[in-house]
């Protein structure tokens, strides 16, 4: 619930949530511009089953940021390489393991170039052998300086 309130997927009933010095619960502020700065990785991956991995990752940068498709594809392929799944760009989520789907979800969260990445129980839906794959990616992100809330 805390993470869902941090990006206002759930609205708090009391208090404030400040992000980069701005009260994001204040209705005068543009929540959509705030959300662009916060990537979210959900417990259940939330990948679109009718879209390829590449399409899942490029959807928001193209639709929300207005990024050119070629640039979004290049960024997505780089992120897939970062999470160790560059060979999966053209496949659909149903053909991937849980650990692979979660790593795709991480790449999708990073595609918007957020200031912070929010993880909602990123390993709880995974088999024990898949947990290591996801934790390794998260450790690499931490080493590279990514701010994360887990």
pLDDT confidence of residue 101: 95
* 96 touches 83 (CB < 8 A): no
Whole-number pLDDT of residue 110: 96
* Sequential DSSP letters for 72-109: HHHHHHHHHHHTT-GGGTTS-GGGS-HHHHHHHHHHHH
| Mean pLDDT (the chain, rounded) | 93
Model confidence band, residue 11 (pLDDT cutoffs 50, 70, 90): confident
Provide the pLDDT for residue 90.
98
pLDDT, one tens digit per residue, over 86-100 is 999 999 999 999 999
Q: Which domains does the chain have, with CATH numbers?
A: 36-149 (3.40.50.300)
Give the count of beta carbons closer than 10 Å to the beta carbon of residue 71: 13
The C-alpha atoms of residue 64 and residue 90 are separated, in whole angstroms, by 22
Beta carbons of 137 and 106 less than 8 angstroms apart = yes
- The per-residue pLDDT for range 30-87, each reduced to its tens digit, is 888 888 899 999 888 999 999 999 999 999 999 999 999 999 999 999 999 999 999 9
Q: Could you tell me the pTM of the whole model?
A: 0.90
- pLDDT given for residue 52 in this prediction: 98
CB atoms within 10 A of CB 52: 15
Q: Are 138 and 84 in contact (CB under 8 A)?
A: no
The CB-based long-range contact list for 132-138 (8 Å cut-off, 24+ gap) reads: 133/84, 133/99, 133/100, 133/102, 133/103, 134/99, 134/102, 134/103, 134/106, 137/82, 137/83, 137/84, 137/103, 137/106, 138/106
What is the reported pLDDT for 134? 92
Using pLDDT thresholds of 50, 70 and 90, give the confidence band for residue 129: confident
Return the SS3 of 14: coil
């Amino acid at each position: 619930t805390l993470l869902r309130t941090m990006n206002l997927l759930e609205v708090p009933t009391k208090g404030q949530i400040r992000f980069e010095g701005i009260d994001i619960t204040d209705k005068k502020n543009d929540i959509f511009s705030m959300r662009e700065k916060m990537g979210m990785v959900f417990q259940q991956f939330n990948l679109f089953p009718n879209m390829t991995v590449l399409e899942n990752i490029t959807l928001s940068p193209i639709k929300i940021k207005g990024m050119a498709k070629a640039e979004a594809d290049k960024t997505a392929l780089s992120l897939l390489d970062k999470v160790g799944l560059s060979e999966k760009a053209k496949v659909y989520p149903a053909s991937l393991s849980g650990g692979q789907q979660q790593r795709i979800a991480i790449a999708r969260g990073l595609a918007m170039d957020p200031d912070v990445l929010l993880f909602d129980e990123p390993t709880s839906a995974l088999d024990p052998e898949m947990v290591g794959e996801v934790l390794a990616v998260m450790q690499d992100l931490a080493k590279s300086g990514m701010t994360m809330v887990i």
